[in-house]
Amino acid sequence: MVINFLPFQFQIDSLPIAGGSLWATGLYMGFYPLTQWITNQLCRWFNFAERSLYLSSEEFERTRPAREAQNLFFAELVSIFPFLMVGGLCYYLSAWGLGSRSWGVSLGMLVLLIGGVYELGRRNGQSRDY
């Protein structure tokens, strides 16, 4: 279908994508305070950058709640990219260091499991404090 229209062929190896994504998700959950800090900083920057686009302060204040919600959504999406880069780097380092690419995926699954358990414990500890 699509292959017939392209004059060239390219291969996409799914193992590095899966391994890097597993690592990134585990790191994203494991370093949740850092994740929140990055998201807050990006949201602040998006709100500041968007303020310069408005000439009247009345129009700016009228549309503020919708724009801040939209900027928070975009900040959440953009905050994933640093973790994807670090996750991909961790995958390649573990695959290179241990000699097999399957080790990178296996360690990524362990990091994801550990990050998920840590996040559940952290949230449980926070709910007990209140």
Per-residue pLDDT tens for 38-72? 999 999 999 888 888 777 888 778 888 888 899 99
Rounded-to-integer distance, Cα 107 and Cα 99, Å? 13
Domain membership of residue 129 (yes or no) is no
Domain membership of residue 22 (yes or no) is yes
**Whether pLDDT at 130 is above 70:** no
Number of domains in the chain: 1
**Whether pLDDT at 2 is above 70:** no
pTM of the model: 0.79
Domain membership of residue 115 (yes or no) is yes
Domain membership of residue 74 (yes or no) is yes
Percent of the chain scoring above 90 in pLDDT? 51
Domain membership of residue 65 (yes or no) is yes
Find the mean pLDDT for residues 7-31: 88
| Domain carrying residue 21 | 15-124
